[in-house]
Amino acid sequence: MRATVLVSDLLIFFPAVFLFCRQILADFTRSKQIAIAFMILLQPGLILIDHGHFQYNCISLGLALLAIVAVMRDWDILGSVLFCLSLNYKQMSLYYAPAFFSFLLGKSLQSAHPVLRIAALGVTVIATFALCWLPFLTSIDSVAQVLHRIFPIGRGLFEDKVANVWCAVSVLIKLRAIFEQALLVRISAICTLLAILPSSVNLALRPSQTGFLYALVNSSLGFFLFSYQVHEKSILLVALPASLLLASDPLNAVFFLLLSTASMFPLLHKDGLAIPYAICIVFFVIVVLHMLNVSLQACQHLTTIGKLQLAAVIVCFSGLHLAWYFYIPPAHLPHANLLLFAVVSCASFVLFAVYFNWRQWQLNGVPTSTHKLKHS
């Protein structure tokens, strides 16, 4: 059965990555395209979760990536179909929906026939959803059962010790003990909306290629930090668009991929994947350092502040890993090590959310008809 994950990689995710590099990074040299493709494919979090923890995230992420390529090439109808397929395969692709909606809306409003274009996209989405849901439309109860499984409200505000805001806040304020579940759902929905709104508005008003990639990161990271019922593995939905920024913001993209993997260490350790985790991290760092230095020359632009940030990240997470193995929590705080990982990772994700939103707002709108992404 595990071999089927590799088959899914080969059939969907690998082609999507290479298509992104060939179509969207067309201005890059072949060596740079290959370097970026290898770094995207070697991101340790996805490898460890799909092939170690055993899931099929590569299918929904691959379909989402194909949709990203399509809309960046102005194949908007095809992109809408592919994104609907990704969303219906795994509902967590909803993390990307605000970015897709804002980008397509912004492009449509700038077109010669905005009403017709928006109508065509709407019909495409409705038709694709109708076909996907056709087997379940036999009765109201059948639809309700599917929706209940897609949105498991009863499972609580967050899963285990996930590195999002609600878990971090719950260290001091026991939210689930103070507030009723229905109120927590509303609070998380409002906070999520507020977190993704600036990025979505910016993209709708000034649609651009790079802005779309940043908006995908900002939207998915907003959902991860503030939405209801988040699992540790959901950070993979942020890691995918972050990895696509290897072309334009390589150092921060690498930092984020390493951080996202480190945030899942408690889950991976529970699965007996501590050694594969260490091997994947070390191998990724070696490959990335070579690629960044030789193919992209990114390391040459690492400032003193950047070096200090890198050193701080290394020291901080090295300390967390050492504490995991050598610090014995007191009896009244049995989950102290888990919470340390969650809180520190959450704080880091919040800083990245501020940074990525700032980067998106710094961009100037460019014509959306061009599909090539420029290297900076």
- pLDDT tens, residue by residue, 205-227: 999 999 999 999 999 999 999 99
The confidence band for 305, taking pLDDT boundaries of 50, 70 and 90, is low
* Statement: residue 33 has pLDDT above 70: yes
Instruction: Give the count of domains, the chain.
Output: 1
Q: In this structure, is residue 286 part of a structural domain?
A: yes
Q: In this structure, is residue 81 part of a structural domain?
A: yes
The overall average pLDDT reported for the chain is: 89
* Statement: residue 284 has pLDDT above 80: yes
Mean pLDDT in residue range 297-304: 60
The confidence band for 280, taking pLDDT boundaries of 50, 70 and 90, is very high
* Statement: residue 375 has pLDDT above 80: no
Mean pLDDT in residue range 68-74: 96
Q: In this structure, is residue 376 part of a structural domain?
A: no
Give the model's pLDDT for residue 211.
95
* Statement: residue 300 has pLDDT above 60: no
Q: In this structure, is residue 375 part of a structural domain?
A: no
Give the model's pLDDT for residue 367.
47
Q: pLDDT tens-digit profile of 357-370?
A: 999 999 864 444 44
CA torsion 195-199-205-209 (nearest 10°) is -160
Mean pLDDT in residue range 119-123: 96
Who wins on pLDDT, 373 or 320? 320
Q: pLDDT tens-digit profile of 136-152?
A: 888 888 888 888 788 77
For the record, the structure tokens of 138 come out as 């036999």
* Statement: residue 157 has pLDDT above 90: no
Residue numbers of the domain that contains 282? 1-370
